[in-house]
Structure 1
């Protein structure tokens, strides 16, 4: 992991954070983003905690390990990582994601409240954008209960996650009830697309209630 890699990661995370803040999905200091910068051992560059996400600089990142704990001496700042970094790390480890985004988008929070067992989607064109058929397939966005212990949330996520190799209902998003949504992808751009598409799908299904 070089300084150049971390500089690029920090710049990308700052830009995406500003984008989501402008959409109202990261109010105040809420939400966090990460990119995977190492696999063996797992290392993530995560947005630092307690900062306005619309005003981040490339230096406002923390390098964390597979437990979401800040790793000193491996680059990044010495600021505090988000308490939710542990769930970012679990998602990256389980899915192989190169980037994870967590925001407080309204439709996701509302849908998780109405459908705590999972949000069922079917026959919607935008399902193709998250890897599924537009017609004839039932897709469920998983929902887990909120909590402050990231190990517990990670276990709940992993219990629901279906690996793509199984050919079953895998989706690149997770709703934490009454809290927000996580979305992931091979890089920040794909994670952003997955987030935007999932939020739009949730808006549609909520409008049909």
Structure 2
């Protein structure tokens, strides 16, 4: 591994550690829960993903594992396992073209997925602009999929509900896994964070008012 590659990986680790600390402060990554990833290379797909079993409020720039497009660790010298959901991170990144995929256990998202397993309907909310949609006269659905411990099954669930963007309608860069948590993605860490924070606010409002 070259010095430049090492720097890129450490920078990715620092970014993910900072985001994890932020989300832990919100109560979205309690203890070791949740996982975050950044795409390092696209062809072939390589992601840096938070290592499993670590307190997400205390990560450092070295607490990441490199994975391939199947979610498998690619560093034979690193004994640490990647997150259990690494395969779904890789699948979302490949399917959507995202540069960052964030997964947290925001409480209201879990409630919403339990309450509305067919998806969460949103309409006429100013905050919808934050995930690329109109504030009025457009119905937006955050999809909900069943939870499964097999990430290949989860990838199939994702493919059944994911609607890619068109010229007329942007994608919804958010997904809720029933009885588990929320995923959001974006071109980079800042966009993924914005999508996650906006979607969580919208879901929290919906849970509180319906």
Superposition TM-score, scaled by structure 1 size: 0.96
Q: CA deviation at 1:160?
A: 1.0
Residue 132 of structure 2 aligns with which residue?
131
Moved over 4 A (4+): none
Hey, what's the Cα distance between the residues in 1 that align with 2:188 and 2:135? 24
SS at match of 1:70: coil
Hey, what's the Cα distance between the residues in 2 that align with 1:125 and 1:5? 37
Residue 21 of structure 2 aligns with which residue?
18
SS at match of 1:196: helix
1:3 correspondence with 2:17: no
Q: Is the 8 A contact 2:51 2:64 kept in 1?
A: yes
Higher mean alpha-carbon deviation, 165-174 vs 181-190, is at 165-174
Q: CA deviation at 1:159?
A: 1.6
Hey, what's the Cα distance between the residues in 2 that align with 1:207 and 1:28? 26
**RMSD (Å), alpha carbons:** 1.3
Hey, what's the Cα distance between the residues in 2 that align with 1:100 and 1:111? 20
SS at match of 1:33: strand
Residue 207 of structure 1 aligns with which residue?
208
Hey, what's the Cα distance between the residues in 2 that align with 1:140 and 1:111? 12
Residue 105 of structure 2 aligns with which residue?
104
Choose from 38, 56, 59 the match for 2:59. 56
For residues 109-188 of structure 1, what are the structure 2 equivalents within 5 Å?
Answer: 109-165=110-166, 167-168=168-169, 170-188=171-189
Residue 34 of structure 2 aligns with which residue?
31
Q: CA deviation at 1:203?
A: 1.1
Unaligned 5+ segments in structure 1 are none
Hey, what's the Cα distance between the residues in 1 that align with 2:134 and 2:45? 33
Residue 50 of structure 2 aligns with which residue?
47
Hey, what's the Cα distance between the residues in 2 that align with 1:30 and 1:40? 29
Q: Is the 8 A contact 1:18 1:53 kept in 2?
A: yes
Q: Is the 8 A contact 2:132 2:170 kept in 1?
A: no
